[in-house]
Amino acid sequence: MFGSTAGSDDVAVQITVEVEGCEPLSGRVCQGSSAPVRFVGWLGLLRILERLVRSESAESVADSLGGQLNP
């Protein structure tokens, strides 16, 4: 893991990417046991991955604050 230090608040997240086609790149992405989300193209894949990672980070921040997150 990049930039990881012992005792940090890192959270393990399982993200599965299933590639179905190469021209254009297409497939499905799912996090844990959630329903898969379809993507088309590299940008579509990156957009979904960014959303999944960001949502997991926001949840872990809210948990560390006792479930309260004030934007």
Q: What is the pLDDT of residue 65?
A: 47
Amino acid sitting at position 1: M
Are the CB atoms for 28 and 18 separated by under 8 Å? Answer: yes
pTM: 0.63
Distance, first Cα to last Cα, the chain: 28
pLDDT tens, position by position, 20-63: 999 999 999 998 888 999 999 999 999 999 988 887 665 554 45
Nearest to 16 by CA among 5, 26, 30: 30
